[in-house]
Structure formats: C-alpha cells, structure tokens
Structure 1
C-alpha cells in the first residue's frame, strides 16, 4: 500500500507529523481521526515509514527494549480504560502518547493501525511475539470471544505481577551463591596458573620425591598453563554445542526433565511452574474457556518443556473423555494433597477456586524454599571450600613440612 505524509493537530493543539500507510488519503484521515489527531495536510510520498524511522537507527538500537513491566502496566491501564467505557482506539491513542518507553509506544501505534485496518486485537498483538507471549495472546483472544476483554486484562495484570515477583525472588536468592561459585572458580584458576608454578620451582630445588597429591596438582597446573587456549576453545565450543542441543525439541525436553532432578533448584523450578499452571488454569476457567482449550492455553505458560508436555498429555486424555483427576494421576507431576484438592474441585464443580488454592499453596512453598535457599546452599559451598583448601594443603604445604623436618634432622 502507498505511504502518506501527514500534518495534523492533536487535542492539545500540538503539531503532529509523520508517515502512515493506507489505501488512500481518506483511509489515512480516518486513522488520524481515530487516534485523536485532526489532519491538516495529507500528501502521498514514496518514503516508507520504516525508512523514516531508520534515519535515527542508532537511537533505535540503543534505546531500552520493551520489558515485562511495560506489558504489565499496559494491561492494567487498558483494563481501566475499557472498564470506564473508553473506546479502544481512543484508549490506545492515549496510551501511546503517555508511553514512557519509545519502543513500546511504537508497538501501541502498530496495534492502533492494525485495529483501524479491521484486524482483531489478538491478531494485531500476534505481530509482536517478543512483546506478547502465546499465553497473553490466547487470553486476549478469549476476552474477545466472550466479550470480557476488560476482565481478562485485569487477570493478565495479576498473572504478570505474580510471574515478575517470582523471577525477582529467584534472582535475589541465587545472587549470593552465584557470586561465591564464580569467586571459587576464579580462585582455582589463579592457583593453577600463578601459585602452583612458583612452588614447583621450590620443590625441584630439593630434588626429593613428592607426595601423590602434589604430583597431581603439579600435573594439573602444567596442563592448564600449556593448554589454556585449548581449554578456552573447548569451553566455548561446549557452551554453543549445549545451546544447539537445547534448541532441539528432544534436547530441550531431556534437559528440562533433568533440571527437575537438581538437588535444590529442581523442586523450586517444579513448584514454581506448577503454581503458574494452577493460576493460569483458574484464570482461563473463570474467563469461560472450555477445559480442553484451557489446558492448551495453560501448557504454553509452563517454561519447562517436560511439564508442558505432561499438561498436553492431560489435555489429550480429557479430550478422550477422562476426568482431570485421572489424567493428573497419570501425569505424575502433582503431590497427593494437590490430587485430593483436584478431586474435590471436580466433585463440587468449583475447580477454578480449588486451582487458586493450589496455586497459593505452591506459592507459599516456593516462598519458603527461596527464603531458606541460602541456608541450604551454604553447607555445600562450605564443604567444597573445605575440600579445596584440604587438597591445596596436602599438595603444597605437606611436602614443605616434610622437607623442613628432614632438614632439621
């Protein structure tokens, strides 16, 4: 379609200008009126809007990307506008003008243009997969189908708030252990590359037979010093090979299943994912989504492909006529207490309320696990540090001690 350069005035009388794509000048005028801009001049141009935006490519490259907080606030603001009876086109125009993030402002602008051309909101959002995930799109589609888009937006806001808080708490709890592990690895590298070679010169001057642990440390240090380029290349190659393996469907499935077996982090990942599953299922059910479709939507919220596959198997079984309780037992991803709550929810017809209770229970357990995460990791780190110090003491100081006693005698 052709592009049109326009000049106009907004509700505050400010001059607005830019380039829009449309079938003709009348279509562009309709877009401007719909966004609250009164056109003054509209002329056809060969300059595309993308080209105009590309003039300041460095600003586009360096500006802040769209974050989950932007989407969360957008959901809350859109809920308020729709609840107040504001037309969606006018509401999006106001959100675009008040957007703090320029990149998200362009996303809202594209949503307005897509809606003006006759597309649904969910279809317009589908053009921005990095901003709106599959679950978000599915829930917006449900809101459009049921006529409850405002309620869906409020529930999406609550869902994103829970998701953001969960990620922040995990990052906060793992920050100190990660720092300690990195410091330990750097210390081992420094000892291997700089400390042990200096002791080797001392040991060689005595020309005495060294203990086994000392010889192991010397061999390890010599290998590190001589082959450090190969070690770096091997580490980089291993990282990219691992990334390529996890990018395959089979590899990601195996890795996500293995992550659930990690000593400490595994149970946190499992409980956090199941809390998200229960909360999302309750949200979908309250929005009037059929159970089969709800399980399809909810499986997309699980950031673990193994658990997502188990939920999809539950959906297939429910589609064949099995009860949710039976499919949940076969999936083997729920605790007995949760299974009992699902059974009560099915019998009483209040499965969505029971799913909220299950989500709250999992959230409390995750909260406790995160609060005690540091105390659980500390014994492991202390043990590892003690073993490292013991190896260094036996390998370096023991032979010096033996040589000192021999010299005294």
Structure 2
C-alpha cells in the first residue's frame, strides 16, 4: 500500500514547481533594462593606422572586447561627456542634415554606386565639420569590411536602434535603397511633429518665464524706490501697497532664493524624471491628462507609434521585434507599458489591439483602425493612415492652443503688472485727495 506522504513527495518533489506556476511567476517578472553609455574610443589597426569612433555599450570593458573582436587594439576608451543636466545633444549635426544625407545615400545606392564610394562622395560634399567627421568614421568601418549598419551603430546619438535595425533588414533583404527612402520620410515627418510639439510647450513656457523675470525685476529694483519715497512721508500706507512692499523687501533680501529656486527646481525635476521610474510614471500619467497640452502629447505619441509601426512593417520587421522597439521610442512610460502588454498578448497568440483597447489610453478610432489592419493583414497601410490623421490633429491643436494661450497669458501678465502699478500709485492718489481737500 503506497504511503500518502511518499505519493505527495513524488508528485511534487522539493524544489520543483508546476509548469503553470512557473509561467505565472515569469509573467509578472519585469525584464531588466540594461543601461548603456556612449564611449569615445581610439584604437590601432593591424596596419598600425589610428582609428577613432563612438560606441554605445554597458562599460568601457565591453567596448574594448568589441574592438578586439574587430581586430583592433584599444588605445583609449572614455565615456562621452553629456550636455546640460545630463541631456544628450546632437553635437552640431541637425536632424535636417541627417535626413538629406539619408536621401542622397538612397539615390546613390539605387543607382548602383558602391557603399564605400557613396560615403566618400558624401564626406567630400558636406561642409559641416561634425557631419564630415561622422561620415569619415562610417567610411573607415566600411573599408574594414563591415556593413553600413555596423558603421552607423557607432553613432547612436544620430542613428537610434530603430534606424539600425531597419538598415540591417534592408542590407539583408537587398532593398537598402527603399528602406533608406522610407527612413528619410519617417524622420522628416517625425522632425516636423517634434517641432510642433516643442513649439506647443515652448510658447507658454517662454511667456511665463518672461512674466516671472519682469515681475522679479519690478519687485527687486523698482518697488524699493517707491518704498523709500513713501517712507519719507511717514503716513500709513494702504494694505495692498504695504503687502507689495513687504514682499519686495523679502525678495530683495533673499534674491538668491528667488533666482536659485527655479533653477534648482528644474534641475531636480529633470534628474528625478531621468532616474526615478515611479516619479517618471506619475509625471507621464499626469501629462496626458493636462487640460490643453495633454491631448497634444497623446496625439503626438500615437502618431509617432503608428508611423514607426508602419515603417517597420513595410521593412518586413516581425511584429514582436517591432513592438519591443516601439515601446522604447514612445517617450512615455504609460504608453510603453501598454505596448509591452500588447506584445505579451501577441506572444500568447492574441492580437495587439486587445491590450490597447483594455488600457483605454489609445483613442477608440486608433484601436479600431489598427484592429481592422490586423484582421485584413494590412496593418502597415492602416497604421500609416492613423499616423497621417493624428499628425494633422497635432498641427491643428498646436495652432489652436497658440491662438488661445496668447490672450490668456497676456491678460494674466496685465493683471499682475496692473496690480503692482495700482499698489504703488494708491498712496499718491490718496495724497492728492488730501491736498485737494485741504486746499
């Protein structure tokens, strides 16, 4: 007769878990994102020539290993310095120059010009020093037998992962000229959309900054002159005037707080947004719900998502790889999480739009059109149409917001400045009334 305890042990031996439990546990494990940095490297080739370049890697040791695999002897590897507040810059090459270069490269490759000769002509024809340096760097990689994608991968601040993955697909499929042309169109549209969104955010920020500067100058330099004049009268000042003078005295005595607080607040916000996932998630969620700016940010994110999806599908990139890339280029944690859930549904045999509908972040129109694309096998076409629609919506929304914000901000500025003027002239009016009454 079998012993019940032994049966239980044989059924579930120590250290073992059921398949369902393992799947359930892995389902809740969030993949760890490996943080990479940009490095500048100098190395010697076999012919003792010195080569230089940039590489994105986890550490300088990884860069040295990669260089040795390519037959290069590392001389120096150092992390590339970042811009103000740790924000990476473009290094003197505008996005428009990159788009023109990609279009020219597409035309030359379509004409049958070898890749090495293409970059030689591009480097000799450009006048931008940073652009010329980058093109010559890619050319050196091509001369050692590497692919265009490998050369461009050394400059991640100009060519992101999406760009490199599509270039690789184009080189492997023999349709590099077509891929380059589509990438040029994609980056042109993205650049135009970014400018619209930036202008939508820059205009009110610039007006508010000017308003703060004007008010601060009045409070620190102009109001004390009136306060000194009023103190010589020895009369009791109106409540509004006295309150403005007290605030002016405090700002004059603590000017370093007035100047340093906004700068410190901006720096801390950027630092926390870049380093703290919980803070970034909260900010991204709130930003999508802002009264006027929120719909613009959401529409621009949807336009970027669908445009990238259409471009990757047209290049033949598998939907699983496309969704993983799309989650990284969304620039919003909330949308990134929604896309990753959609990718999980696709892995389980479901549809991409199921999770997007359930999350409620994407508008119904966008999910319906993408769903039709999934059913008919024309997701590339439907995603492109959705992108066209929302890009137009962003442009119209930005124009409407600019038209709406201008009078509102001017009214607010007028009220603040008008209040200061009235506060300073009230004692003068009172003195004039006393003199007139006494006369």
1:318 Cα deviation from its structure 2 partner: 2.0
Against the structure 1 CA distance between its residues 107 and 324, is the aligned structure 2 distance closer, same or farther, given a 3 Å change threshold? same
| Alignment match, 2:424 | 396
CA distance in 2, matches of 1:159, 1:281: 11
Q: Which moved more, 1:300-309 or 1:270-279?
A: 300-309
1:90 Cα deviation from its structure 2 partner: 2.2
Aligned length: 359
1:338 Cα deviation from its structure 2 partner: 1.5
| Alignment match, 1:381 | 409
Q: What is the TM-score when the length of structure 2 is the normalising length?
A: 0.74
CA distance in 2, matches of 1:126, 1:363: 29
CA distance in 1, matches of 2:243, 2:234: 17
Q: Is the 8 A contact 1:146 1:288 kept in 2?
A: no
Counterpart check, 1:219 vs 2:240 = no
Q: Which moved more, 1:344-353 or 1:274-283?
A: 344-353
Match of 1:336 among 364, 368, 385: 364
Q: Is the 8 A contact 1:318 1:327 kept in 2?
A: no
CA distance in 1, matches of 2:333, 2:142: 34
1:228 Cα deviation from its structure 2 partner: 0.6
Match of 2:381 among 324, 339, 353: 353
Q: Is the 8 A contact 2:197 2:297 kept in 1?
A: no
Match of 2:47 among 24, 28, 44: 24
| Alignment match, 2:149 | 122
1:173 Cα deviation from its structure 2 partner: 5.8
Match of 1:367 among 395, 413, 420: 395
Against the structure 1 CA distance between its residues 336 and 262, is the aligned structure 2 distance closer, same or farther, given a 3 Å change threshold? same
1:352 Cα deviation from its structure 2 partner: 1.2
Give unmatched runs, 5+ long, in structure 1: 1-18, 29-47, 51-63
CA distance in 2, matches of 1:196, 1:391: 12
1:283 Cα deviation from its structure 2 partner: 0.8
Counterpart check, 1:240 vs 2:267 = yes
| Alignment match, 2:286 | 258
1:73 Cα deviation from its structure 2 partner: 1.4
| Alignment match, 2:229 | 202
- CA-to-aligned-CA distance 1:209-246 (integer Å, 9 cap, x gap): 33332222111100111111233233333332223212
CA distance in 2, matches of 1:235, 1:385: 19
CA distance in 1, matches of 2:312, 2:254: 56
- Give runs of aligned pairs for residues 83-122 of structure 1, distance below 5 A: 83-122=110-149
Q: Is the 8 A contact 2:215 2:417 kept in 1?
A: no
Counterpart check, 1:327 vs 2:355 = yes
CA distance in 2, matches of 1:393, 1:102: 52
1:390 Cα deviation from its structure 2 partner: 4.3
CA distance in 1, matches of 2:297, 2:383: 19
- CA-to-aligned-CA distance 1:174-230 (integer Å, 9 cap, x gap): 666555434322221221012211222333234333333222211110011111123
CA distance in 2, matches of 1:316, 1:20: 42
| Alignment match, 2:95 | 68
1:161 Cα deviation from its structure 2 partner: 0.8
- CA-to-aligned-CA distance 1:365-398 (integer Å, 9 cap, x gap): 1111122222110232133124214422452233
Against the structure 1 CA distance between its residues 379 and 215, is the aligned structure 2 distance closer, same or farther, given a 3 Å change threshold? same
| Alignment match, 1:11 | none
Q: Which moved more, 1:286-295 or 1:237-246?
A: 237-246
Q: What is the TM-score when the length of structure 1 is the normalising length?
A: 0.79
Counterpart check, 1:308 vs 2:308 = no
- Give runs of aligned pairs for residues 272-291 of structure 1, distance below 5 A: 272-291=300-319
1:170 Cα deviation from its structure 2 partner: 4.3
CA distance in 1, matches of 2:353, 2:267: 41
CA distance in 1, matches of 2:113, 2:248: 70
Q: Is the 8 A contact 1:314 1:331 kept in 2?
A: no
